[in-house]
């Protein structure tokens, strides 16, 4: 028999033998050539398909020792020798048999070898090593083997599918399926308990952090933290875009942990991970089309909240929870819904001007954007003249005029004005985004606790399957938790001290110290939009401040109503002049 393309002729002692396709696998399992010779696994097996057999060996995790696997091979070889069979190939892999989405390639290859007629027997050590998916998978497999007069032999349980053992194999396979469900359940229970105790759940730690083996706690990785904190975290807090940060890191020749180039998306994924703040992540697991869980998890996620409604810490972070909240708020401001299917978002450029998106076109009422040195109608730029005839004006003079308009308006307001209160609240919220995030988290925890209390009462009073002592204990714990959450929510909902900002002059001084993002926040707190009136003619010398019509938040303000009346009259006059020109 000639050797196949995968086989090679080697010298053993003083004779030539044909090397087996699985020889490297057997040696990797720790077998010596002398023992392989005794087991009949050194030379390539020859014979008719009836005389040959496939052997499948599997371990779920690396913690299953190779010594155990070698013993399984020895016992199956002894069983095959007693039946006069020669093992054509040993198929080995490390895969879980309980998860439907996990593809076991070596198992499929072993089955294919039997179905293709290379051999007529498949040896496995135990039914659980064959499959943990129940009779649904094993029954189909037996039908395929019966059709080809092949068989499955389970050595430990002494099962031979060709001798009327289908029912026994069905029972054992269903038993293995239930065991897999139990293993998954207790694994989840253990994992949830570790998370609740603040132990790192495992997996890849974020850049800048590490988890020493056996500690279960995150700590700074000195080699990465020296870059992660000053060059990434602090710059994100300063409003620098992820693209700028990635470019700077690449220019400095600082690679990622995998020695690759930085990308803006890499920075965003890092910043959105709660683990980067030293917190336990509560990530959502991905599912297949039938709703079955996969071994994949969605990126980012929210921090896992404890019974008290506070995020659970897993150790040190590159940023604090407050900083993490602020960074994500900054990133969220520069994101908009994507046009593709799904809820994904895509980034937008960071606003480099004060009035981008706030200034409105007089014709289409749409936003005007930064066009370099000017503001211009986005509808005209993106959709053409058929949608809007458009308008443009110099950027700097609009910004200067808007600063004067905003300051004069604030100074003209009474101390008890709703706008003063609105600006003060919005400014404090802009300065402290953690408070609003915390308020949402506490509200969610309170809703969850109230739901659990309702279920507890239903179980006790309607179900009747709970001991009164156990009910009282659980009810007391829930009531204490609900009271604590209500108290914290009331504290978070308390009106902040606005007195330092209630003076109009104090508010006007904020403008001078605020950057572009800060000034945008102040403008948005005071007004809804600003419409730019069209010029009366080409080269119109009207001051730009007289062409800006701000819609202040005091809708009933007579001054505001008068300004809007001027705007409507101006637009009407412009349209009339153009109509006259067109008909002349």
Alpha-carbon distance of 153 to 150, in angstroms, equals 10
CB 429 within 8 A of CB 440: no
- Non-local (6+) Cβ contacts of 553 within 8 A are 418, 419, 422, 525, 526, 527, 528
Question: What pLDDT is attached to residue 230?
Answer: 92
Whole-number pLDDT of residue 2:
40
485-507 residue pLDDT tens: 777 777 766 655 545 555 566 66
- What residues form DSSP beta bridges with 311? 305
Q: What is the mean pLDDT of residues 309-328?
A: 84
415-420: long-range contacts, CB 8 A cutoff, minimum separation 24: 415/502, 415/503, 415/504, 417/554, 418/553, 418/554, 419/525, 419/526, 419/552, 419/553, 419/554, 420/501, 420/502, 420/504, 420/507
Looking at per-residue confidence, does 370 or 470 come out higher? 370
Q: Which of 445, 489, 205, 437 lies closest to 325, judged by CA?
A: 437
Closest CA to 401 of 564, 563, 552, 544: 544
Share of the chain above pLDDT 90, in %: 11
Supply the pLDDT for residue 291: 57
Structural domain 9-181, CATH architecture? 3-Layer(aba) Sandwich (3.40)
Distance in angstroms (rounded) separating the CA atoms of residues 208 and 217: 14
Q: What is the DSSP letter of 387?
A: T
Cα separation, 563 vs 553, in Å, equals 13
pLDDT of residue 341: 36
Beta strands 52-59 and 86-94, pairing class: parallel
Q: Going by DSSP bridges, is the β-strand pair 359-360/527-532 parallel, antiparallel, or unpaired? A: parallel
Please give the pLDDT value at position 342.
Answer: 40
How far apart (Å, rounded) are the C-alpha atoms in residues 120 and 100? 27
Question: Domain 209-347 belongs to what architecture?
Answer: Alpha-Beta Complex (3.90)
pLDDT at 1 over 60: no
Give the 3-state secondary structure of residue 86.
strand
pLDDT at 225 over 90: yes
Integer angstrom CA distances of residue 573 from 232, 314, 562 = 53, 66, 17
Model confidence band, residue 518 (pLDDT cutoffs 50, 70, 90): confident
**pLDDT for the residue 226:** 93
**pLDDT greater than 60 at residue 583:** no
Average pLDDT over residues 422-430: 64
Q: What was the pLDDT predicted at 560? A: 44
Name the nearest CA neighbour of 408 among 499, 520, 527: 527
Mean pLDDT for 368-389 is 85
Query: What Å distances lie between residue 84 and 354, 356, 449, CA to CA?
Result: 86, 83, 66
User: Which pLDDT does position 283 carry in this prediction?
Assistant: 65
Determine the length of the chain: 584
With a cut of 60, say whether residue 3 has pLDDT above it: no
Do residues 79 and 91 touch, judged by C-beta distance below 8 A? no
Instruction: State the pLDDT at residue 174.
Output: 65
The three-state secondary structure class of 302 is strand
Q: Residue 220 belongs to what H/E stretch?
A: strand 219-220
What is the rounded distance in angstroms from the CA atom of residue 161 to the CA atom of residue 179?
Answer: 22
Q: How many CA atoms lie within 13 A of 18 on its CB side?
A: 12
Considering only residues 183 and 244, tell me which one the structure prediction assigns the higher pLDDT.
244
Judge whether 548 and 401 are in contact, CB under 8 Å. yes
pLDDT at residue 6, as a whole number: 42
Determine which of 378-392, 497-511, 544-558 has the lowest per-residue pLDDT on average: 497-511
Q: Check residue 239 and give left, alpha or beta (phi > 0: left; psi -120 to 50: alpha).
A: left
Burial class (CB in 10 A: 0-12, 13-18, 19+), 510: middle
Residue 204 has pLDDT above 70, yes or no: yes
pLDDT category at 65 given cuts 50, 70, 90 is confident
Nearest to 260 by CA among 247, 275, 250: 250
CA of residue 470 relative to chain centroid, distance:
38
**In this predicted structure, what is the pLDDT of residue 199?**
81
Say what the pLDDT of residue 279 is: 87
Tens digit of pLDDT for each residue in 458-479? 777 776 666 777 777 777 877 8
Is the pLDDT assigned to residue 125 strictly greater than 50? yes
Instruction: Categorize the per-residue pLDDT at 294 as very low, low, confident or very high, splitting at 50, 70 and 90.
Output: low
Range 196-214 average pLDDT: 83
pLDDT (0 to 100) of residue 467: 72
Under DSSP, is residue 494 helix (H, G, I), strand (E, B) or coil?
Answer: coil
Answer yes or no: are the C-beta atoms of 153 and 120 closer than 8 Å: no
Per domain, the residue ranges of the chain are: 9-181, 209-347, 352-413+512-584, 416-502
Confidence (pTM): 0.45
pLDDT category at 338 given cuts 50, 70, 90 is: very low
Distance CA 267, CA 78 (A): 57
Residue 349's pLDDT band, with cuts at 50, 70 and 90, is low
Q: What is the pLDDT of residues 174-198, one digit of tens each?
A: 665 665 555 555 556 555 666 666 7
Residue 380 confidence class, pLDDT cut points 50, 70, 90? confident
């Amino acid at each position: 028999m000639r050797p196949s393309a995968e086989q090679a002729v080697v010298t053993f002692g003083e004779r030539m033998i044909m090397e087996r396709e699985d020889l490297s696998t057997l040696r990797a399992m720790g077998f010596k050539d002398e023992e392989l010779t005794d087991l009949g696994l050194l030379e390539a097996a020859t014979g008719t398909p009836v005389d040959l057999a496939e052997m499948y060996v599997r371990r779920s995790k690396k913690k299953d020792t190779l010594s155990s696997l070698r013993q399984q091979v020895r016992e199956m070889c002894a069983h095959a020798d007693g039946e006069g069979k020669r093992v054509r190939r040993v198929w080995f892999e490390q895969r879980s048999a309980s998860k439907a989405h996990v593809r076991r390639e070596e198992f499929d290859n072993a089955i294919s070898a039997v179905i293709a007629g290379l051999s007529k027997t498949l040896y496995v050590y135990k039914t659980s090593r064959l499959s943990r998916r129940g009779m649904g998978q094993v029954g189909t497999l037996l039908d395929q083997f019966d059709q080809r007069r092949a068989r499955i032999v389970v050595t430990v349980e002494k099962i031979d599918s060709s001798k009327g053992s289908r029912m026994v194999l069905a029972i054992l396979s269903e038993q293995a399926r239930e065991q897999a469900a139990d293993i998954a359940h207790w694994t989840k229970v253990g994992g949830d308990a570790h998370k609740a105790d603040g132990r790192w759940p495992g997996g890849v730690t974020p850049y800048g952090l590490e988890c020493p083996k056996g500690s279960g706690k995150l700590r700074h990785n000195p080699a990465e933290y020296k870059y992660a904190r000053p060059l990434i975290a602090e710059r994100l807090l300063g409003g620098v875009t992820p693209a700028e940060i990635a470019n700077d890191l690449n220019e400095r020749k600082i690679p990622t942990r995998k020695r690759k180039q930085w990308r803006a998306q890499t920075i965003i994924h890092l910043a959105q991970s709660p683990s980067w703040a030293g917190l336990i992540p509560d990530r959502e697991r991905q599912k297949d089309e039938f709703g079955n869980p996969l071994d994949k998890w969605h990126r980012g996620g929210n921090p896992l909240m404890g019974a008290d409604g506070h995020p659970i810490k897993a150790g040190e972070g590159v940023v604090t929870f407050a900083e993490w909240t602020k960074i994500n708020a900054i990133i969220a401001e520069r994101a908009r819904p994507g046009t593709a299917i799904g809820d994904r978002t895509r980034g937008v450029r960071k606003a480099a001007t004060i009035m981008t998106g706030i200034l409105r076109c007089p014709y289409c009422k749409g936003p005007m954007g930064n066009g370099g040195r000017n503001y211009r109608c986005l509808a005209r730029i993106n959709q053409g003249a058929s949608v809007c005839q458009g308008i443009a004006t110099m950027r700097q003079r609009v910004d200067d005029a808007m600063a004067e308009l905003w300051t004069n308006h604030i100074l003209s307001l009474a101390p008890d004005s709703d706008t003063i209160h609105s600006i003060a609240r919005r400014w404090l919220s802009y300065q402290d985004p953690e408070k609003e995030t915390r308020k949402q988290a506490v509200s969610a925890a309170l809703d969850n606790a109230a739901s659990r209390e309702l279920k507890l009462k239903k179980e006790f009073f309607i179900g009747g399957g709970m001991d009164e002592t156990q009910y009282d204990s659980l009810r007391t714990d829930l009531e204490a938790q609900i009271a604590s959450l209500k108290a914290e929510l009331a504290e978070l909902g308390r009106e902040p001290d606005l007195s330092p900002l209630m003076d109009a002059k104090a508010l006007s001084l904020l403008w001078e110290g605020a950057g572009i993002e800060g000034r945008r926040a102040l403008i948005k707190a005071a007004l809804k939009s600003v419409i730019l009136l069209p010029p009366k003619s080409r080269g119109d010398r009207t001051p730009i401040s007289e062409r800006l019509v701000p819609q202040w938040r005091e809708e009933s303000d007579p001054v505001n109503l008068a300004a809007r009346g001027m705007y409507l009259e101006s637009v009407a006059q412009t349209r009339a002049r153009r109509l006259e020109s067109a008909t002349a």
